Amino acid sequence: MHTAVRYLLFFMLVVVTTTTQADTGEYLIYSDSSGNIYLQAPKQFVLIHGEVAIPLLITPKNGLLKLAKSGSSWQLTVLTPSQWQLLQLTPGSAIVRSISYADFDGDGLADIRLIFNNGQPAITVTGLTTIVKIITPVVTYLHTDVLGSVIAESDSGGNIIKKTDYKPFGQNSDQQ
């Protein structure tokens, strides 16, 4: 009886501890000397029942991701656990300011958004439980006059997308 209680307490401790880690959903971020960014999902707890129960922590699908800068875009690669083991990674990333989790694409599943320190556009990694992809938002720059009214919008290449003229007293030239 005493042994059964001990196994039960051990099982409860493992489940509670692991469930707390697995429920956070927060990826760990790493970088390498080439400037690549790596994301590692928290491991999931699996208990294999048998004569002796064996607790395992496994990496979820799409749990090991590599983001590599190629020109002006980012390339995404899903890594295997053996590929991950071969990497010499440094915890953290000097170019990532923050990482946030939400349903950015409206599919009902959590996505990851990376905000960079160097002013480049944020990227969103979606489809973490299915087909993983990167969404790069379109950047629009707003140009204002001395009073703060938006008089033009341009794209990242400096091309004017929209121009707005104002009449005296703030009336838009398109308004009558």
Q: Please report, in tens digits, the pLDDT of each residue of the chain (176 residues total).
A: 556 545 554 555 444 433 322 233 588 889 888 888 998 888 778 788 778 888 877 777 778 899 888 887 888 888 888 898 889 788 888 888 888 888 888 888 788 888 888 777 888 888 877 777 777 666 678 888 887 888 888 877 788 888 888 877 777 765 44
Domain limits, the chain? 2-135, 141-167
List, in order, residues 6 or more apart from 26 with CB less than 8 Å away.
42, 99, 101
pLDDT for 159: 82
> Is this model's pTM higher than 0.75 or not?
no
pLDDT for 4: 56
Residue 9 structure tokens: 């307490």
pLDDT for 141: 81
SS3 31: strand
